[in-house]
């Protein structure tokens, strides 16, 4: 297994231990460009841990990650964002007392440059950059369908809109890979359907999506390929139809062996 040009991300034997718990055990997986890649598994299987390692929030104990044909610097989250991986959180983390558009504008930070001096002198470059940040943020709010809430505080948005806002903020960093941690959690059927359309649209626009999800129906219908984690180990990786029938996967989910 070596990374070809159509592979966006390749994790090699990633391990993470918390005290006596081996949260991730030699997890290797390959995400291809422009696919929706699902990461599923029972509670406590290590999905979010993998996300946190991948985005630099946790430091891994072993393994490494190739991203876009280069070794990914996992030392700090902002470097991961710089490299082109953006994420959302399982329990939405917005900047609550900033407006929706400001939240998205913060996402532009990593792709913009003007610092303190530029801001104080309000140079031409600063004004141009600031205008571009604002324009891009407006576009992204429009893209995720909450342009009408631009001036509202993030904490005042409805649950579904907050999810969308978090995705817009992630998109503002111009990611190549968008990692969504249980985006459908707590959503009703209509909101989930809207989310599905949004994610399909992202793929159509050239983005690669890594998706942690509990909603099996959503995952199976949406993902090109799926990996299953159980007790920190990858037990399957394939197209949904095959994974669904994998006895190991069924065992992990149902807690018993098949065929007994």
Partner 1 sequence: MNRKTIGFVLIALALLILPHLLTQVGTAWVRIANLAILFVFLSLGLNIVVGMAGLLDLGYVAFYAVGAYTWALLASPHFGLHLPFWVILPIGAMLACIAGAVLGAPTLRLRGDYLAIVTLGFGEIVRIFMNNLSAPFNITNGPKGVTRIDGMQLGDMNFMATDTLFGIPFTGPTKYYYALLLLLLLIIVVNLRLQNSRIGRAWVAIREDEVAAKAAGINTRNVKLLAFAMGASFGGIAGGMFAAMQGFVSPESFILHESIMILAMVVLGGMGNVWGVIAGALLLSFVPEFLRYTVEPVQQALFGHLLIEPEILRMLLFGIALVLTMRFRPAGLWPESRHKQEMKEAKEASA
- List of residues contacting partner 1 (CB under 8 A): 55-57, 76-78, 81-82, 86-87, 89, 93-99, 102, 105-112, 114-116, 118-120, 122, 126, 129-130, 133, 153, 155-156, 169-170, 172-173
Least separation in angstroms between residue 68's CB and partner 1 is 16
CA atoms of 57 and 51, how far apart (whole Å): 8
**DSSP labels, 15-54:** EEEETTEEEEEEEEEEEETT-EEEEE-STTSSHHHHHHHH
Least separation in angstroms between residue 213's CB and partner 1 is 19
Least separation in angstroms between residue 115's CB and partner 1 is 6
Q: Which is nearer to partner 1, 148 or 217 (CB)?
A: 148
Q: Which is nearer to partner 1, 7 or 185 (CB)?
A: 185
Least separation in angstroms between residue 118's CB and partner 1 is 8
Least separation in angstroms between residue 93's CB and partner 1 is 4
- 3-class DSSP state for residue 82? helix
Q: Which two structure tokens, joined as six digits, stand for 4?
A: 């070809």
CA atoms of 163 and 63, how far apart (whole Å): 31
CA atoms of 101 and 109, how far apart (whole Å): 13
Per-residue DSSP letter, 122: T
Q: Which is nearer to partner 1, 129 or 230 (CB)?
A: 129
Q: Which is nearer to partner 1, 140 or 243 (CB)?
A: 140
Query: What residues have CB less than 8 Å from 2, skipping those under 6 apart?
Result: none
Contact 18, 53 (CB under 8 A): no
Q: Which is nearer to partner 1, 66 or 106 (CB)?
A: 106
């Amino acid at each position: 297994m070596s990374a070809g040009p159509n592979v966006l991300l390749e994790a090699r034997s990633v391990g993470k231990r918390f005290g006596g718990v081996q949260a991730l055990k030699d997890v290797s997986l390959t995400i291809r460009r422009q696919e929706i890649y699902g990461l599923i598994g029972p509670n406590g299987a290590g999905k979010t841990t993998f996300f946190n390692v991948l985005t630099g929030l946790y430091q891994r104990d072993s393994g490494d990650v190739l991203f876009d044909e280069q070794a990914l610097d996992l030392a700090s989250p902002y470097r991961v964002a710089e490299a082109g991986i953006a994420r959302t959180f399982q329990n939405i983390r917005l900047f609550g007392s900033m407006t929706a558009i400001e939240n998205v504008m913060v996402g532009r930070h990593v792709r913009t440059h003007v610092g303190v001096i530029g801001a104080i002198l309000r140079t031409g470059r600063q004004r141009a950059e600031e205008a571009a940040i604002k324009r891009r943020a407006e576009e992204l709010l429009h893209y995720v369908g909450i342009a009408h809430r631009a001036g509202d505080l993030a904490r005042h948005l409805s649950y579904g809109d907050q999810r969308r806002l978090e995705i817009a903020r992630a998109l503002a960093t111009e990611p190549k890979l968008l990692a969504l941690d249980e985006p459908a959690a707590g959503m009703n059927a209509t909101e989930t359907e809207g989310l599905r359309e949004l994610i399909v649209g992202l793929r159509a626009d050239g983005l690669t999506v890594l998706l942690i999800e509990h909603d099996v129906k959503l995952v199976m219908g949406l993902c090109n390929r799926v990996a299953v984690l159980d007790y920190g180990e990858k037990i399957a990786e394939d197209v949904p139809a095959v994974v669904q029938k994998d006895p190991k996967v069924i065992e992990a989910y149902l807690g018993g062996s098949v065929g007994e």
